[in-house]
């Protein structure tokens, strides 16, 4: 697997983790009773959707070399300007 794809996976996993932490914090402050449960369910569905999009994107990125080429081009540009 291309190293830049691993970096992309790490960033996606970090973003999903941050979303999960934020959703948990917001759900905890959402209120008492049934509304709290409803907010938690809504955030769970949002996280599930985000995870699905991330998995589909990573599956696509794993089959193509476009992401690797993009990262290589960006790094070459940055290194060229240093």
Listed by start position, the domains of the chain span 3-81
pLDDT band at 11 (very low <50, low <70, confident <90, very high): confident
Q: What angle do CA 38, 57, 45 make, to 5 degrees?
A: 5
SS3 of 27-78: the string is: HHHCCCCHHHHHHHHHHHHHHHHHHHHHHHHHHHHHHCCHHHHHHHHHHHHH
Residue-wise pLDDT for 29-75, tens only, equals: 555 555 656 677 788 888 888 888 888 888 888 788 888 888 889 99
What's this model's pTM, rounded to 2 decimal places? 0.43
More confident residue, 49 or 28: 49
Of 15 and 42, which is predicted with more confidence?
42
- Asked if residue 77 has pLDDT above 80, the reply is yes
């Amino acid at each position: 697997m291309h190293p830049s794809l691993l970096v992309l996976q790490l960033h996606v996993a970090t973003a999903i983790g941050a979303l999960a932490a934020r959703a948990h914090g917001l759900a905890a402050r959402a209120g008492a009773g049934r509304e709290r449960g409803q907010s938690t369910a809504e955030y769970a569905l949002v996280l599930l959707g985000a995870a699905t999009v991330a998995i589909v994107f990573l599956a696509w990125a794993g089959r193509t070399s476009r992401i690797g080429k993009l990262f290589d081009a960006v790094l070459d540009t940055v290194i060229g300007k240093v």
